[in-house]
Amino acid sequence: MTGDSSLHTRDVERDVRELGSMLGEVLEAQTSRSAFELVESVRTDAIGYRRGEVDSRAGVRRTLSDLGEEESSVVARAFTTYFELVNVAEERERVRAVREREAAGTLGDSIPAAVDRLAEAGVDAGTVESILGDILVEPTFTAHPTEARRKTVKAKLRSVRRGLDELDTRRLSAAEERGVERRLAAEVTGLWQTPQVRDRRPEPIDEALNVQWYLENTLFDVVGDVYDRLERALDERYDEPVEVPKLFEFRSWAGSDRDGNPHVTPETTAETLERQREVVLDRYREALGRLSGVLSQDDRRISTSGVIRERIEVHGERLPGVVERVQERYPHEPYRQLLKLMAERVERVGRVRPGGYSGPGALLSDLDALADDLRANGAESVASTHVDPLRRQVRTFGFSLASLDLRDHRENHTTAVTEVLAREGIDYEGMDEDERVDLLTEAILEDGPVIDVSATEGLSETAGRVLTLFDRTADWQAEYGADAIDTYCISMTEEPSHVLEVLFLADQADVVDLPGYSGLDVVPLLETEAALDGARRIMGTLFENEAYAAALAARDGVQEVMLGYSDSNKENGYLAAQWSLHHNQKRLAGITDDYGVELRLFHGRGGSISRGGGPMNDALLALPTETVTGQVKFTEQGESIAEKYAEPSIARRNVEQMLNAQIRARHAALDGSDEPTDARWTEAMATAAAAARTEYRDLLESDGFVAYFEQATPITVIEGLNLGSRPASRSGKRTVEDLRAIPWVFSWTQARCILPGWYSLGTGIEAYLDDGGDVETLREMYESWPFFRTTLDNAAMALARTDLEIAAEYASAADPDLERRFFPRLRAEYERTADLVLEVTDRESLVRRDWLSENLERRNPYVDPLNLLQARLLGQDHLTETERRTLRLTVKGIAAGMKNTG
């Protein structure tokens, strides 16, 4: 891919070559000539093998086996740093590609393309307005898996990104170009000298700050651009005005997700709420200051409305000393007077001094009045250019920047309710499910409190933490507004009582006051097969329950249900999990439809294919039509956040794709378009998924498999890395069931055997064919069914990123008997799956996209040495401290090279 000379002066090959050359110079300067030659030898030998110039990796393997401790460290650092720089160069190429396709008008998943589709389908302006009115896209940022990169490293890489952008898009003199190159060289030097491995495990507040950075520095500005693009596209295609409502809301779990993480305390959540409010208010003050520099209109030349004068008077009553100074300084500039008063009111939000805005609605009302007045005075361009962007930001980010979701494991709520009711003489533990539901319902509907959530003395640590959380939630909502923290997600929900326990505790804390008010959306997370199969029993019981029905009515009749992609995959395997999640979404839609409840699905997706990752646009368009209510929520995790939202142009592109998909999907749902399936297809999937699950479970439950996993992947190293604040397993035990999905996937990815993304898919397809199925039906499904096509395409990407020759290096470190039992089985399933995917998709290569082929070709020779070095270190019985640090560094490097942790 080469940049258009009219837009860009460089391409990815040049960026990679020059950054690599800078790194080589830094390596030699910071270490020695012999170290540079060593890295070059490893690099050229690895490239030679990948290009077929040598028959084996013996040369690379021999060189690595002879390395001393310090030499191993230099090799690991060199290749890790290389990938950090390559990732920036490839990101730059993505920006070029988007700009070129925009200029050529070939972005089929852009906002103008979505509006064009509606117009060409004959959709009138009123219907477009109705479609937009249904849409709410809620990306939800989580703290796990925390990126393998340190925040300091990311800051230096941002500087490299800016330098490449300057070289690529500006016409520089020779002297200016040399200046930029010197700054780039300085950043590469600083990157080399900066520790890649954290000396301490990050705390939850560090993770919250990481999420906050992307919201503050990228998305805060990008979202306004997206709204602007939509409004312009609508103006071009429709003569009648189309009102654009709020379409996005950003949410976060960072600092509020307590499931399995004892380090997330109420103090953490309080600090996160305060920091986020400070950030967004600072941005508003800056914007109001810029507006004051623009809106200098003289009231002797324009006719301001009474509304503007009234607002100045009202604000003046709240800020008497301020209004006098403002009117004296700007005697004939009413807009500036109002803006200065608005800025002062923003400054006082949450402060001791009175006069602050009560909420974002009041600030938005003032901005609306300004925009209307400007337009009445013939200043449409001023309003649309300078005021409207801030209006969109206030509407989207409010005073909280991102609303927090609370989350905890259902066992903790049950423990808390059991202990606190025991103090009242009630044996909750001894009750069956029906008795628990009846008790909780009666308690919620009582006028007075049953328990005191502030009284935690004598309770277990778990129960005390839960009660304190609910007690503090009431305070937080009073301080920051209910919208700042208004959702409670319950992990591993399996019974109606698990949901009612949360509603009961919220009621006792005055977060809920029924009938009429509920300050929380209570969200069951259905992630096990038992929970998904029991969805009608769980949700039906709740919808028929008097207390829960009242709470639901108080939340506008919208029921949010979260689906756990990660744990479903770990429990069932890739194909069975995909099918279970798909058809259970349809079941949930049917259940909510039967009860007249509006469904909002919350997709607990991860960055990897196995955890629901893959192109977001494709994923949203592949959802069952009956589930597309317009509202959709999904998690954004770990390195995916950086990949999608670090660079403004790419962030805008991702947000546009989400909106494009939702507009198209909602239009299809309203148009009565059913999901294109027939009985033969669903029968094929049911047969294949059942066989796939059996094979997957048989692998996991085979005697010795857990030991093989421990020996043939770097799971023990990953558990010891300072990657995130959350423990790797829920109880510290070494079982697949207890291990969190993130380190499970991360470990296989490191070993280049991305088993969670494809294992047993081939067995499932083969079972369908053996049962009388035919390839032509599968090809028909692939061609016409978005769900099946996305499932196979994502599996193909996981297969393409798998390298069994490298995986064999890790397998050889396992006990020989375990290696003989398991690795041939994995290899056979890989080959079966790859062959059948190619046959069904009627392709010659697993890699469908040219960019992915180029990406793999560029990366593989550089990942290989890190894998070989890591496998060698894992196979050693004893490691020195330097070797352990090098081993951890290889994990970082491979994660950067694979662009994936878990």
Catalytic residues: 144, 570
**Reduced 3-state DSSP string for 568-607:** HHHHHCHHHHHHHHHHHHHHHHHHHHHCCCEEEEEEECCC
| Residues whose CB falls within 8 Å of the CB of residue 369, separated by 6 or more in sequence, listed in order | 305, 307, 308, 311
Q: Give which of 538, 582, 533, 581 is closest to 559, Cα–Cα.
A: 538
Q: How many CB atoms lie within 10 A of CB 179?
A: 14
**How far is residue 861 from each of residues 42, 760, 797, measured CA to CA in Å?**
10, 28, 18
Whole-number Å distance between alpha carbons of 94 and 86: 12
Rounded-to-10 torsion of CA 641, 643, 649, 654: -60
> Which of 816, 786, 738, 500 has its CA nearest to residue 624?
786
Q: Tokens 């996160």 map to which residue?
A: 272
- Which phi-psi region, left, alpha or beta, contains residue 10 (left: φ > 0; alpha: ψ -120 to 50)? beta
Beta pairing partners, 487: 405, 521
Q: Where are the alpha helices (DSSP H) in 247-333?
A: 266-294, 306-318, 320-329
Q: Where are the alpha helices (DSSP H) in 105-244?
A: 111-120, 125-134, 151-169, 174-193, 204-214, 220-237
Interatomic CA distance for residues 742 and 516, integer angstroms: 40
**Calpha distance 555→575 (Å, rounded):** 35
Kindly list the distances between the CA atom of residue 462 and the CA atoms of 228, 408, 411, in Å, as whole numbers in the listed order.
48, 11, 10
Place of tokens 């609303």: 403
Q: What is the CA radius of gyration of the chain?
A: 29
Contacts of 25 (CB under 8 A, 6+ apart): 185
Q: What is the DSSP string of 743-772?
A: HHHHHHHHTT--GGGTTTHHHHHHHHHHTT
Q: Is the dihedral of CA 857, 862, 865, 867 positive or negative?
A: negative
